[in-house]
A and B are shown apart, each in its own frame.
Chain A
Amino acid sequence: MTSTTTAPERVEVEAPEKTWSGQNVPRKEDRRLVQGQGVFVDDVKRHGMGYVHFVRSPYAHAHITSIDVSQAEQAPGVYGTLTGEEVAALTDPFFQISSVPGGNIQDYALALGKVRYVGEAVVAVVADTRERARDASELVEVEYEPLDALTDARRARDADAPVLHDEAGGNLMWEGVYEWGDLDAAFAEADHVVKIDELHFHRFNSTPLECDGALVEYNRGVAQWTITTNNQFPGFAAIMMGPAMRCGLDKLRFVTQDIGGGFGNKITSHPQLVVCCLLARKLNRAIQWTEWRTDFHLSMSHGNERWFHETEVAVKSDGTLLGFRTKALDDAGAWLRYEPLGGVIWAQVTPGMYRWRHIRLEFTQVATNKAPVSPNRGYSRMQHLWFTERVIDIVAHELGLDPIEVRKRNYIRADEMPYETPNGCVYDSGDYAQMLDVALELIGHEQLEQRRQDAESRGKLLGFGIGSTLDSGTNNFGQSRMINPELQFSGNNEVATVKLDIFGEIVVTLGTTPQGQGHETTAAQVVADILKCSVDDVHVRAGHDSYWNSHAGFSGTYASQFAVTGLSAVKGATEMLRDEIFKLAGAVFGGVPPEALELADGGIRIRESPEAFLPFMACGAIINANNAGLPEDLGVTLNCRYVYRPPFQVPDVERKFGNLTLTYAAQIHTVVIEIDPDTGYYELIDYAAVDDCGKRINPQIVEGQVMGATAQALGAAMHEHFAYDEDGNLLTPNFYDYHVPHALDMPPLRTGSIETPSPFTPLGTKGMGEGGGAGIHAICAAVQDALRGHGDAIVWDSCNPYHRVWEMLNDPKAAGGSVSVSAA
């Protein structure tokens, strides 16, 4: 059941004995990508297109007292400009997901009257070359009247705090109390109460290597825009943009081929897309927008920064966890572009992987003068799971227990699956204790003490840490009603079409917008298994076009769901096509019943007389081009569309109770670190990651997701931080100061897996790809472990660069977290 590899062996693409699913089929996407033949958004050009450059705010918070574009408009090569006032005249504010007070804010595509973070777009300038657009943007004169900036969420509700949005009456955007079980009883039963004053999950994101971009064309005759873009969730962009632009959604055609990484960070580019649409119409030409790295860091999709205050944990002497209370304070940045959904998404994994039943979490989200937050790989669950993992390790530390034992004692057991959490989510399957055993074995845990002594003899401090994490996939959008009961969203869906073309080609279209997850390949594997053909016979259209691909309301690539929603839709559509082929062949063969037929060798034949064979090419030709004489009631088109709808109910909004996600993949990571106590510098010297995502269609792709998410977590745990100074300047606006892991930073990695198929999904699969947060949890635990006996600082922040480690070693009281234990 366990495999240990650092890189899977190549598997020859020959028809497998059993099924294509489960094989490491090399990806269909690779051939174009390794030749530089991918089509990314910035590769697309149009005759006479204008390049847009945004004038951005240098201030974190300021009134705009005047804007003068006259000089810029006179500059060489300039086609025109767009200001916030024009946007406000031409569009309505974006729809707000939040109930009041956050629901009252007025969000437009460009700043109007005020800027609220450094890097906010104020004016757009279009010119005939990229360089001239930027030249002209320097001629735009914007007068600002600076205001005090709010950069610390903890000050947001102070009486003297600067207020970002007057319409909201303060900086509170959304708040809600979640409580399940009987907290009083749990704390009465507890032997100890562990109190943790403050924990902080820092601000970062996945920094996909390709930044955002678009090429927007306007067709004046039919008042329709074609938006070639790398937005990863066009369905969401459309419902944000259509009402704002006062147009029907079919007037917005989204086109994508290859996307250079997304990780959730490319969901909320709708403000920039609106600007491009307005400019395309105003200037009567195609508008090209390339976001540069510094623009991205300044303004796009930071991950949610979150504080946890006044945490109290009820625990028995033997380490049995009964429950916890905490106050989560979420820093949304300046705008609610996808928020406050983070205020409920965390609840998909309320108890983490543990059996505690009594939980109270007061969630508050505030606005600050920083870039808006938006989904980032592990969105909102990562913050919460980091919290639960930190709690486990702090409890173990304070009570002198072994973190492995505390985990094993409290993990939800395999025999309890499916497990209903205190808030009504149903964990489908899993065996966390077994995964931990695999992870311990891979890292060589039994030699740990020996290695610790060896490290100490070299003057180094060795630390070991575990990170457990859940990757909840396939959202029930009904959870949004807990944020705002007025919202009419629930359930989820994804769609696929599969057809046989005139010459028998099998053509698949997806509703998704993949960014490297290999959808073309895994979809082909599913189709090939059903139609008994080769993956090479299955053509899955690259990318997405909302005009000619299938498309459903929640279509897109986000929230760990393709293996469930996407592939289930593919499966459904392929089965429809298969049934139609049976029907057609039955008629062609003169009334042969389906049970007498079988698929084989790229066609269909009569079981008992295999020479009666109808190749797919013939099927396609008959239906499409040679259909005279077919029975009138045949009802076969060989072009099948299937919408997969996961089995969800509308959650109980009053109790905040219900199943919020369909599947729960899991990851457990272990890490060994060595700290140089003189400098705080540390290295990851060994790393293991164990994954369970149910049935794996393409294990190599799954493992690639595990590895990639792990690398992102390592970066986040050690270096990656969107740090602001007190004036609201971003201190890490590029890869020079925002250090992402490089080749030399990577530790040796061992990977393992177990497979507990999901009982709830058509293929036994679970969505995956977002479980990498485990690396952050594990490194925090390892740092704390290394500091044991060397000041015993409590690791309270999710990002621990060298200077913080050194500070914790040298002044553990000041630099570490504050924790106390009291008898209950």
Chain B
Amino acid sequence: MAAISPSKTISVSINGTTYEREVEARKLLIHFIRDDVDLTGSHIGCDTGNCGACSVIVDGTLVKSCMMLAVQADGATIETVESLAEGDELSKLQQAFSAHHALQCGYCTPGMLMSATALLRANPSPSDDEIKKALQGNICRCTGYWNIFEAVKAAAS
């Protein structure tokens, strides 16, 4: 029978690299990614699961990594913003974000890109409303979102 334990050794594949670490049960996945594995591209902008800056893709599903415990990711495959570019080559979406000035301070951008990436995988040519709905869980305080919508639209076409 599974035992209740305050910590656990987990094995997680992030962006193609497998990390094995002992983590406390209370550690949030975002802290594991940022502090333990040093992938600091994913960010933290709130403490209530509202802002989406920590959005990553876990086993193909877009989630907010601040509402998941690191121990829950044992055995999972995770993609973060650091996985989007192929070497020096930015993804179409990343290029579109720059071309359309869809970022200013860039703090929400990694989460925003992951949400848009998940959208475009499931729905390669989304409507305007579908784009808005897909990004509803990501707060941006700089751009007013309009240029982000344009960038996603451009990357889709």
In the complex where A40-B107, A293-B45 touch, is A708 in contact with B98 (Cβ < 8 A)?
no
C-alpha gap A29/B46 in the complex (Å): 24
Contact at B47–A258, with CB atoms within 8 Å? no
C-alpha gap A210/B40 in the complex (Å): 13
Q: A205 → chain B, closest Cβ, in Å?
A: 10
C-alpha gap A701/B102 in the complex (Å): 10
B 89-129 contacts with A by CB, 8 A: 90, 94, 97-101, 103-110, 113
B99 to chain A: which residues have CB within 8 Å? 10, 26
B50 to chain A: which residues have CB within 8 Å? 734-736
C-alpha gap A743/B35 in the complex (Å): 29
Contact at B98–A26, with CB atoms within 8 Å? yes
Q: How large is the interface on B (under 10, 10 to 19, 20 to 34, 35 or more residues)?
A: 35 or more
B142 close to chain A: CB less than 8 A: yes
Chain B, 30-72, contact with A by CB distance < 8 Å: what is the 0/1 string?
0100110011111111111011010000000000000000000
B103 to chain A: which residues have CB within 8 Å? 30, 33-34, 516
A273 close to chain B: CB less than 8 A: no
A90 close to chain B: CB less than 8 A: no
The secondary-structure label for the interface of chain A is: loop
Q: A685 → chain B, closest Cβ, in Å?
A: 15
In the complex where A209-B141, A711-B143, A711-B144 touch, is A37 in contact with B101 (Cβ < 8 A)?
no
Contact at A30–B97, with CB atoms within 8 Å? yes
The residue that B51 contacts in the complex, of A7, A26, A209, with Cβ under 8 A, is A209
B35 to chain A: which residues have CB within 8 Å? 45, 130
Contact at B82–A7, with CB atoms within 8 Å? no
The residue that A209 contacts in the complex, of B26, B133, B140, B146, with Cβ under 8 A, is B140
Contact at B145–A704, with CB atoms within 8 Å? no
A736 to chain B: which residues have CB within 8 Å? 48, 50
C-alpha gap A270/B131 in the complex (Å): 40
Contact at B108–A8, with CB atoms within 8 Å? no
Contact at B142–A261, with CB atoms within 8 Å? yes
Q: How large is the interface on A (under 10, 10 to 19, 20 to 34, 35 or more residues)?
A: 35 or more
In the complex where A131-B24, A736-B50 touch, is A36 in contact with B42 (Cβ < 8 A)?
yes
Q: A765 → chain B, closest Cβ, in Å?
A: 18
In the complex where A209-B108, A701-B101 touch, is A43 in contact with B40 (Cβ < 8 A)?
yes
Contact at A36–B147, with CB atoms within 8 Å? no
B132 close to chain A: CB less than 8 A: yes
A293 to chain B: which residues have CB within 8 Å? 45-48, 51
Contact at A36–B141, with CB atoms within 8 Å? no
A561 to chain B: which residues have CB within 8 Å? none
Chain A, 488-528, contact with B by CB distance < 8 Å: what is the 0/1 string?
00000000000000000000000000011110000000000
C-alpha gap A348/B41 in the complex (Å): 40
The residue that A35 contacts in the complex, of B82, B136, B137, with Cβ under 8 A, is B82
The residue that A746 contacts in the complex, of B107, B109, B145, with Cβ under 8 A, is B145
Contact at A708–B139, with CB atoms within 8 Å? no
B73 close to chain A: CB less than 8 A: no
B8 close to chain A: CB less than 8 A: no
Q: A442 → chain B, closest Cβ, in Å?
A: 14
B106 to chain A: which residues have CB within 8 Å? 29-30, 32-34, 38, 258, 260, 516
B38 to chain A: which residues have CB within 8 Å? 45
In the complex where A29-B106, A31-B90, A743-B149 touch, is A10 in contact with B100 (Cβ < 8 A)?
yes
Contact at B145–A131, with CB atoms within 8 Å? no
A742 close to chain B: CB less than 8 A: yes
C-alpha gap A131/B44 in the complex (Å): 16
The residue that B142 contacts in the complex, of A211, A708, A744, with Cβ under 8 A, is A708
A231 close to chain B: CB less than 8 A: no
Contact at A131–B105, with CB atoms within 8 Å? no
B135 close to chain A: CB less than 8 A: yes
A206 close to chain B: CB less than 8 A: yes
Contact at B26–A708, with CB atoms within 8 Å? no
A193 close to chain B: CB less than 8 A: no
C-alpha gap A292/B44 in the complex (Å): 9
Q: A570 → chain B, closest Cβ, in Å?
A: 20
A 257-316 contacts with B by CB, 8 A: 258-263, 292-294
C-alpha gap A33/B47 in the complex (Å): 22
Contact at A209–B53, with CB atoms within 8 Å? yes
A317 close to chain B: CB less than 8 A: no
B113 to chain A: which residues have CB within 8 Å? 34
B48 to chain A: which residues have CB within 8 Å? 293, 734-736
Contact at A746–B45, with CB atoms within 8 Å? no
A700 close to chain B: CB less than 8 A: yes
A 541-598 contacts with B by CB, 8 A: none
B47 to chain A: which residues have CB within 8 Å? 292-294, 734
Q: A538 → chain B, closest Cβ, in Å?
A: 18
Chain B: which residue is nearest A698 at the CB level? B101
B141 to chain A: which residues have CB within 8 Å? 206-209, 261, 263, 708, 711-712, 740
C-alpha gap A206/B24 in the complex (Å): 35
Contact at B132–A743, with CB atoms within 8 Å? yes
A 42-63 contacts with B by CB, 8 A: 42-43, 45
Contact at B51–A516, with CB atoms within 8 Å? no
B107 to chain A: which residues have CB within 8 Å? 38, 40, 208-210, 258, 260-261
Q: Which 5 A-B pairs have the closest CB atoms?
A: A36-B41, A33-B106, A260-B107, A711-B144, A516-B105
11 A-B pairs with C-beta separation under 8 A: A6-B146, A6-B150, A39-B40, A208-B107, A209-B107, A209-B141, A292-B47, A516-B104, A708-B143, A712-B144, A735-B51
Known contacts A261-B105, A744-B133; 4 further A-B pairs (Cβ under 8 A): A293-B48, A515-B104, A707-B144, A743-B138
